[in-house]
Chains A and B, each alone.
Chain A
C-alpha cells in the first residue's frame, strides 16, 4: 500500500497542475491571482484520535491531519522551531539551562523558567507557554516534558515546575489533561491568514489544546460552540474533506514569519508603521530590522531626514525575495546545490537527489540559518544558510572603486558596509533592578528622540556597532550589531543556584497598594515631589542599592546582588545596495572611524555590566563611562588584530619617529647655527678648489628619481596614516598613487643596483673595515670641531671616492637595511590581500612600515643638511644637478691622484 502513496500523491498533483494550467490558459480574462498554491489537495481534518472532526466535533490535531500525507513525526523532530532548546535542556546552578528559548534566560522577557528543585517557583512550563506560546510554533516543550515524556502523562504535583502554576505567590497544580497540549501548528505558517489573535487568546488562557483549532477561526471552517467546535459542513466535500480552496495551504510567506519574528511590510500600500521597541516583534525591537521593500521615505515614521531616504528598507525584500529563499528547508531539492556540497571532490553534480514527492512527505523543518549571536537553539545548523557571497560576487561589484577588495572582505562582513544605518529604534537598556508601576523594567530605546511610539518623537535611527564575529568556518569578520544592556538582581537559592529575583518578589519590594512603597519613594525620590518618575527610577547610589537590598534580604533572598549583561544582537537584514552603503573610504579610514565608533549602553549603570561570552561575538572592546556619566562600549580594533589605516596607530612608533625627526632637526639647526657663527667669527680662508666632474648623468638621474619617489612616498604615506589632517585628498586615490610610486622606487633601485654592480661602483658604498674607526673618528671630529674652524675636509671628495667613512656607513645602513626593510614591509602589506596573516599581518607590518618611514624622513633631513658642508653650502647640491663640483684640493691627495693616473697608464699599457 505504502509504495503507492507517493505515486498517488504525485499523480494527484499532476492532475491538479494540468487542470489548473488548463483553466489558466483557457481564461482570456485576467484571472484573479490566487494567493495560495493551488496544488494542495482536499484533506480530511482529524482530531487527536484520528477521527474526522465532522464526526467528533473535536479540536483538530495537526499531527494527525497533516500526518495523513506528511511525516509529521519526522517534521517535528527535525524542527528547531518546535524544539526550542528542549533537547539540550540540562539543569544547572547557573542561569541558562539550554541554548534555546526554552531554558535560556532572556533578561528582556526576564521571567525565569524554574528548574526542578528551585527554591522559588517563577515560571512553570505552563506559564512559560502562556507567556511565550503565541510566538512559538508548538510541539517540543509545548507537548513534551523535559525528560521526553508527553506532558499529558505527567503526574500532577505542586513540587514539579512542569505541573504547576504560580498563583498569588504560591504554586498551584496544573492539569495538562485539562488544558491539553499544543501540537506543532502547521496552519500557523502554511495558511495565508491564520487567526493568530484567536490562537493567542487561547494560549494566554491556558487552553493549549484549543490553540491550533483557534488558528482556523473566522475562516468559515470552524466556529466555537457550547460543547467544543462546530465544523462548517459547507467547507467540506462529500468525502468529508475540507475543500482546498477554503483552506489554501501554501508555502510560508514573509507575513507568516513576521507573526513571530518582527515587522514585515509589503512594498506597496500603506505607509509602514512600527511598534517601536515592542518585544512582540522581537527582531525589530532588539535591532530595528524591518523586512520591507517600501522606500523609507514612504513609511509613516516620523523619521529624521526622511525626504532624502529613497532607499528601500531592505533591498532583498524590495527584490521580491522571501524569507524562505534564504532560510529554506535543508532537504528542499530546489536548493540542491547546497545539498551537493558534500559530494566527493571529483563529482561536480550528483543526479541522485531527493524526489519532490519524498521531500513533500518529509520536509526538513530545520531551516537554513545564519550565524546570529542571539538565536542559539540547534547551533549545529548555524551557517547552513546561503550567505551574501554565495549569491553575490563581491570582486565584480567592488573592483572598479575599492582597492584591496580581498583585504576588506577578509576582515569585514558585507553587512558592515551594506547595513550602514538602522532607521527604526531598537532597545538599548532594560533595567530590572527597578520596576515600573505595571511591573516592567525601566527601559530605554536608541534611535528615537523622546518616548517611542509617540507621533511627536523623532526617529533618528542609529549606526550599528561593528563587532568581530567568529563564523563556524573559523574566520573572524566585523559585522554590525545592536548592544542591549540589562541590569537585574540575582540571588543564590537554597541549592546554591544563581537565579534572577522573581518579578513577584521585586513587586513586593517596590510596590504597595498599586503605588510605590513609601520607603522606596523615600529612597528614590530625588526631587522630593513624593512621586517617582522613570528618570528617578535608577539605582545610582549605594544608599538606594542598600534600601532595595535590605528589602530583598527581608524576603529571605540569599545574597541579593546586581548584575549587568551586554548582549549583542546581530543585524543581517535591512541590507542596501552600494549606492546607499558605506562607500566613502574615510568613513572607516579616519580619526572617527566607524570601526572604532562607540555605542551607548546605558544612561546610568548600577554596576559595570559584563559582555556575554556564550556567543560567537568577541566583546573585545572596553566598557567605559563617558564624560556624560553614561556607559559606552568602545570597540578596540587592535585587540581583534585589526589595523585600519587612518584610524589605527601604534603611538610609541609615532612618538619615537617624531622624536628622532625632531631631535635631528634640532641637531641640524644647532650645528648650522654654530657653523654660521663660527664662519662670522673666523671667515673661511680662501681654499683652493678645483672643478671635478663628480656625478655622471645616470647617477644624477637615479638619485633625483629616487628623491622624487621617496619624498612623494613619505607624503602620500603620511596622508594614508593621518587622513584626518589631509581632508582634501581622496583616500583611495592616494593609496593607488602610493603603490605606483613604490613600484617606481623599486624599479629605480633595482636598475641602480644593477648599474653599481656592473660598474663595480658598489665598492664606494662598502666601508673598508681596515682603519674604518680611525677614519670615522677623524671625520666625526671634523664635524664636531674642525668644521667650525674652517678646516678642510679630512677626506677628499673624488669621483671615484666621493664618500667619507661616515657617509659610507650611513648609506650602507640606508641601502642595506632601511630601504630593503621598507620595500619588504610594503610588499608584504600588499601581499596581505592574498595571505592575511603573512609576517604578522597588518597589525605588525603597518606600524613597522611607519617606523621606517619616520627614519627615512629623518635621514632626508640630515642628508640635505650634510650637503651644505661642501666647499660652499650649495656646491654639493649644484653638483648633483650639473654633475660638476668644486672640491677642495688636498695636497696628499694630489699624489694619490698621480698614483692613480700612473696605475691607469700602466693598465692601459
Chain B
C-alpha cells in the first residue's frame, strides 16, 4: 500500500463535510450585509496644528494669504474657480433672454436686501475675499485676496469688516495659527445669517444649528454631530451642493443628495416606498421650517424710512421696512426637479398681474423627474421702476446710501451710476415671491410626517394645485 499524502478517508471526510455544509449555507437566509449610512461619510485627515508653523507678522489679510500660499500653493487658484469666490453661476442660455447670462449674488438681486452691487462695503463681509474697495474686477483677480481665514479660522478669533477685509482689531496671527478644517461655525457665519441676520433667508439654516440636538437635525445634532462638509463633500475647495436661489439649472451631480449615504436604503414599509417616485425625502423628513429660531416670511420695503416709528428686530426697522417672522411652520409644497423654471435677471420686466417671481422652481406633475418638495416662500414688496417696468436695486449702505439718506430716488440714481441699472425717476413697490428649498433640519423616521399630514382632512398638500384630481389615496397616483 503506497502512502498517499492524503489518505482516501480524509478526502471522504472533506467530501462529507462539504456535502452537509454547502446545502446548509446555500439555503440559510442571509442577513443583508449593507453598509451603514455613516460608512459613506468622507474620511477627514487629522488637521495639522498650525500653531508652530505660522509665523507673523501679518498686517493685512493678504499677508496671511501669502503665508498660506507658501505651502498650499494651489489653494487660491482652486478656490478662485468656485462660486464661493465668483458669486455667479456659469452662463446660461435662458429662454426669456437673447444673450447668455450668469446668475449670482455678484450681479443679481433677491427680495431680501435686494442686491450687493454698489453695496460691497457691507455685503462683502460674507465674501471669502478681501479688497473690494478696489472694485470687483481687481478684487476678484488677485489670488492674495482669497480669504483663507473666513473658512479655516476659529470664528471666535476672526471676523470680517468692510469690503471683505478683516474686521478692525482682529489678531491675524492668532487667527492664522488656529486654522483647521471648516466647521459648522465657519459655514454658518454666512449661511445661517444670510440676508442680514439670524435665520433671515433660509428657513432651514440658522444659528440654532451651532449647537443642535438631534430633535433639531438628526445629522448635525446628537451623537453624529455632522459638519457641513460631511454632506457637502469638498474636493480642491469645490464644495458639493447648490440650490436654486442663485442658479438656473443645476447638474444633479453638483447637488447633495440623501442617497450619497443612504445608498439603496429604503423604508421597511412598502407603502412608504411607493411614495419615493413622487415625494422627495425632505417632504416627509422635514415636517416644519425654522424649528427653533424664526425666519423671515414677508418683507415690505415700502414701509422703510418712517420717521419716529420704533425699531423692532422682528417687525420693523426704519432702514429695512416691515417684516413678519415665523417659526415652526409647515413648508409650501411644489413639484421640483432641481432646477429653476425662471430666475429674475436684472432688467427683466416685472409681471403685469401682481406677483413677480424672483425664482420659480421647475417641475410639474407631468415631469417624471419632479418630486413634491418643501419650500419656504419669501414674499416681499420691493421697489420697481414704474416706467421701465423692472425691479430696482437701491444703494443702501455707505454715506449716500438709503440707510443714511432714506431717499429712495437718490439711492436708485446712485445705483444707475454705479451699476448701470436704468432709473426713470419714478418708482413704486411690487410684490415678489422667492422660493427657498428646504433640506436641513431633517427629522428621524419616528418624527417624520405621517399619512394624515397629507392625506387626512385638512391635509397640508393641496392636491388640486399640485395637479391631482384629488387625494391620490382615492384618485390614484400620477400617471
Residues of A near any B CB (own CB < 8 A): 24-25, 30, 33, 35, 266-268, 293, 295, 297, 310, 312, 318-320, 400-401, 577-579, 697, 700-701, 704-705, 708-709, 712, 732-733, 736-737, 740-741, 743-744, 881-883
Contact = CB atoms under 8 A, between A and B. Distances in A.
Contacts of B264: none
B19 A268 contact: no
Contact of A736 (B17, B27, B451, B473): B27
B12 interface: yes
A400 B29 CA distance: 8
B446 interface: yes
Interface in B20-68: 20, 23-24, 27-29
B455 interface: yes
B277 interface: no
B71 interface: no
A30 B463 CA distance: 10
Contacts of A30: 462, 465
Contacts of A743: 23
Contact of B19 (A266, A295, A744): A744
B29 A704 contact: no
Contacts of A705: 16, 19-20
Nearest to A24: B464
Given A30-B465, A33-B458, A577-B269, A320 B16 contact: no
Given A33-B458, A744-B20, A882 B9 contact: yes
Interface of B: 7-9, 12-13, 15-17, 19-20, 23-24, 27-29, 268-269, 271, 445-446, 450-453, 455-459, 462, 464-465, 473
Given A701-B12, A701-B15, 4 more contacts: A30-B462, A293-B450, A704-B16, A882-B9
B268 A35 contact: no
Most buried by A among B19, B450, B455, B458: B450
A320 B268 contact: no
A488 B393 CA distance: 86
A566 B17 CA distance: 57
A13 B450 CA distance: 34
Given A266-B456, A319-B271, A700-B12, A709 B28 contact: no
Contacts of A33: 457-459
6 contacts: A33-B458, A295-B450, A318-B451, A577-B269, A697-B8, A744-B19
A320 B12 CA distance: 62
Contacts, number: 84
Nearest to A743: B23
Nearest to B471: A320
A312 B272 CA distance: 15
Given A708-B16, A881-B9, A320 B23 contact: no
Contacts of B446: 295, 297, 310
Contact of B452 (A293, A400, A578, A744): A293
Contacts of B9: 700, 881-883
Given A268-B456, A733-B29, A740 B464 contact: no
Interface of B is mostly: helix
Contacts of B456: 266-268, 320
A708 B15 CA distance: 12
A318 B450 CA distance: 7
B28 A736 contact: yes
A674 B234 CA distance: 82
Contact of A268 (B13, B27, B445, B453): B453
Contacts of B19: 705, 744
Most buried by B among A268, A733, A882: A268
A272 to B, nearest CB: 13
B451 A293 contact: yes
Nearest to B445: A310
Contacts of A740: 23-24, 27
Contact of A737 (B24, B458, B464, B465): B24
Most buried by B among A579, A708, A883: A708
A665 B36 CA distance: 52
A705 B20 CA distance: 8
Nearest to B474: A320
A310 B268 CA distance: 15
Contacts of A318: 450-452
A297 B27 CA distance: 40
4 shortest A-B CB distances, which residue pairs?
A310-B446, A267-B452, A30-B462, A705-B16
A25 to B, nearest CB: 8
Contacts of A883: 8-9
A736 B450 contact: no
Contacts of A400: 29
Contacts of B268: 578-579
A712 B23 CA distance: 14
Given A295-B446, A320-B456, A708-B20, A697 B12 contact: yes
Contacts of B7: 882
Most buried by A among B16, B268, B458, B462: B16
B15 to A, nearest CB: 7
A709 B453 CA distance: 57
Contacts of A297: 446
A24 B7 CA distance: 88
B371 to A, nearest CB: 20
B329 to A, nearest CB: 14
A318 B23 CA distance: 43
Contacts of A267: 450-453, 456
B335 to A, nearest CB: 16
Contacts of A295: 446, 450
Nearest to A308: B446
B452 A268 contact: yes
B448 to A, nearest CB: 10
A125 to B, nearest CB: 39
Given A33-B458, A266-B456, A320-B452, A401 B29 contact: yes
A140 B446 CA distance: 47
A215 B456 CA distance: 26
A35 B457 contact: yes
B473 to A, nearest CB: 6
A320 B24 contact: no
A701 B19 CA distance: 11
A320 B451 contact: yes
A753 B15 CA distance: 20
Contacts of A35: 457
Given A310-B446, A577-B269, A700-B12, A320 B20 contact: no
Nearest to B458: A33
A709 B24 CA distance: 12
A250 to B, nearest CB: 11
Contacts of A882: 7, 9
A462 to B, nearest CB: 24
Contacts of B15: 701
Contacts of A700: 9, 12
Nearest to A701: B12
A697 B12 CA distance: 8
Contacts of A25: 464
A60 B70 CA distance: 94
Contacts of A737: 24, 28
Contact of A704 (B13, B269, B459): B13
Nearest to A400: B29
Contacts of B13: 704
A701 B450 contact: no
Contacts of A312: 450
A266 B451 CA distance: 11
A582 to B, nearest CB: 16
A400 B456 CA distance: 33
A125 B16 CA distance: 81
B200 to A, nearest CB: 27
B450 to A, nearest CB: 5
Contacts of B452: 266-268, 293, 318, 320
A268 B12 CA distance: 67
Contacts of A578: 268
Contacts of B457: 33, 35
